Structure 1
Amino acid sequence: MLESGNIYRRYVYGIDPDSECSVECYWFCFSHGDMLVCADGLHVPLLGSPEDAGISPLRKQYLGLLDGKPCFSAELPPEVKAPDGMQFMNIRATHGFLDEDIYLIAGKAVQIVNWDESHQFCGRCGHPTEYVRGERAKKCPVCGFMSFPRLSPATITAVLKGKQLLLTQYASFMGPMRTIVAGFVEPGETLEECVHREVFEETGIKVKNPRYLGSQPWPFPNSLMIGFIADYESGEIHVDGKEIAGADWFDLDKLPDLPPELSIARKIIDWVVKNYS
């Protein structure tokens, strides 16, 4: 299995702050999906409040503590400009520059900001919603309907045929990068059934003996990636040419361009190479 345990080293989860913060806090602020960072791209703002930098959030959410300092996410107005000494960056572009815990918290933060923004009103009756203290939830005070941050489980599977690995090329990917098969879990479906279905739908290959390897939160968007390894059973490769541009078997010692190291796809591939070469 992949390395298990808490992915955070110094972060402590929280929903409600102990009190109104009068100390410096880490602020994960977003506008148009981009995050406000210091000009060097290495840090997120450490402020008493965003107003200290001349910006006023539309909404804010408490996230917990990092190194004992409170962390907040915040939605900024779409027209906001980055204050002096700061810039907006796409979260993906900050990987490798931000501290690992801060990068992981940023992935959590953007999902909570997007959920909060899109659930200002009840999806059942249209009344404005309210926060539920002690829960990451919003509740309609009229009809009682509750909403929670959206999570979309998806399986991602390494398929082995002897010492060969099945890799696909998604039509939406730019360049020659290849990856393993992934897809969202359908209602009423087990994770193992999703593995079988997705591999067959995308490549025409039937698999057997799916085994769980590990999981990873993935905010692009709102996914929980659940990793498996499975063995080839039967079939010839066939792709639709639309979602999947191509697929092939690759020797473990001659793999093509692969996903970045931050992704669970790459972690699984590296684990397979280490354990099956």
Structure 2
Amino acid sequence: MNTEKNCWWFIVAEGQILLQPQGDFIPYGNLDDLSLDEALVSEKVELGHYQSSPCYLVEFKTQIDVGFGEYSDLRTLLGTVDDRLFDIAGRAFQISLFYKTHQFCGQCGEKMQAIDWEIAMQCQHCKHRCYPRVSPCIIVGIRKEKQILLALHRRHQKSNNQVYTVLAGFTEAGETLEHCVEREVYEESGIKITNIEYVTSQPWPFPHSLMMGFTADYLSGDIKIDPRELSSATWYDVDNLPALPVEGTLARKLINQMISQCV
């Protein structure tokens, strides 16, 4: 009998995560309680702790039926579980992607091997070591009196998901976050902003971003969108808003904060 203490099991296969239909959705318990074969989780990776219990990533090559739960898209957890639990699930996906994309050394081309005391891959030939990639990016909500600038991004239009959201973009080399905010806003919408204020951050595992959230006030200029990024962008009154991002996203947190400030 397996006497290992209760753990959270983040079971990933073919780009999806195994979820239970009740509770916190992430499987929780010891291996016997969950009827998990110990051989299936022999190569588990520790992700940290949640509510004082260890969290483990377990990856299957195919979506094995373990007798409970169904495999689902990671986005289904947004706004349905505690933010910290979602962040750990996102960490599981990012680490899974890291191991898949760092099988060979980017410096000499030889085979890489996982380090057993930290999450890293090291070349057996030149000893070059790699860690999970994190891509910094900004996301910013912009106010104009009692209006908010919201845009329909091309990726949302293509997926027939008509969600209107705030502006965002990746930080470039040698750039401060504040400069990135100003540049991205001007490039995507043609306006200039002022009173840039940091709000909070959110790990965003699609696939490996760290989003830094800001708010700002409109300063000058007329909206002129970058058609490569946006389908439209408009000032919306806070009491007449279009379809917004789901709760749990940083975009929605920024929008909610601006609404409360405008009311």
Structures share fold, TM-score greater than 0.5: yes
Note the C-alpha offset of 1:135: 3.5
2:152 to 157, 160, 169: 169
- Aligned mates of 2:146, 2:107 — CA distance in 1: 52
Per the TM alignment, residue 42 of structure 1 is displaced from its structure 2 partner at its CA by 4.4
Does the CA contact (< 8 Å) of 1:160 and 1:231 recur in 2? yes
- How far did 1:145 drift? 1.1
Q: How does 1:127-276 map to 2 (within 5 A)?
A: 127-173=110-156, 174-276=160-262
What SS does the aligned partner of 1:56 have?
Answer: helix
Q: Identical aligned pairs, as a percentage?
A: 38
The aligned residue for residue 26 of structure 2 is: 44
Matches of 1:165 and 1:97, distance apart in 2: 26
Structure 1 residue 69 displacement after superposition: 2.8
Secondary structure of the residue that 1:52 maps to in structure 2?
Answer: coil
Counterpart of 2:92 in structure 1 is: 109
Q: Distance in 2 between matches of 1:176 and 1:64?
A: 36
TM-score by length of 1: 0.83
Aligned letter for 1:194? C
Range moving further from structure 2, 90-99 or 221-230 = 90-99
The answer on whether the counterparts of 1:27 and 1:47 sit within 8 Å (CA) in structure 2 is: no
Q: Could you tell me how far 1:73 is from its partner in structure 2?
A: 0.5
RMSD (CA atoms) = 2.5
Per the TM alignment, residue 106 of structure 1 is displaced from its structure 2 partner at its CA by 0.8
C-alpha contact (below 8 Å) 2:18/2:26 kept by paired residues: yes
1 CA distance for matches of 2:5 and 2:197? 47
SS at match of 2:242: coil
158 and 80 in structure 1: CA distance in 2 versus 1, 3 angstrom threshold = closer
User: What residue number does 2:8 align with?
Assistant: 26
Aligned residues: 256
The C-alpha deviation readout for 1:56-86, integer Å capped at 9, x for no partner, is 3695311123333321102211x33322222
Quick one: structure 1 residues 129 and 57, their matched pair in 2 at CA, closer, same or farther if it must change by over 3 Å? farther
Contact 2:150–2:165 (CA<8 Å) still a contact in 1?
A: yes
Aligned to 2:63, which of 41, 61, 80?
A: 80
In structure 2, stretches of 5+ residues that fail to align are none
| Alpha-carbon distance between aligned partners in 2 of 1:24 and 1:44, rounded to the nearest angstrom | 12
Change (3 A) 1:51 1:117: farther
1:159 partner SS: strand
> Which protein has the bigger helix share?
2
Alignment correspondent of 2:52: 68
2: CA distance, partners of 1:154 / 1:226 = 6
Contact 1:41 1:98 survives alignment (8 Å)? no
Seen in structure 2, the aligned counterparts of structure 1 residues 102 and 53 have a Cα distance that, compared at 3 Å, is farther
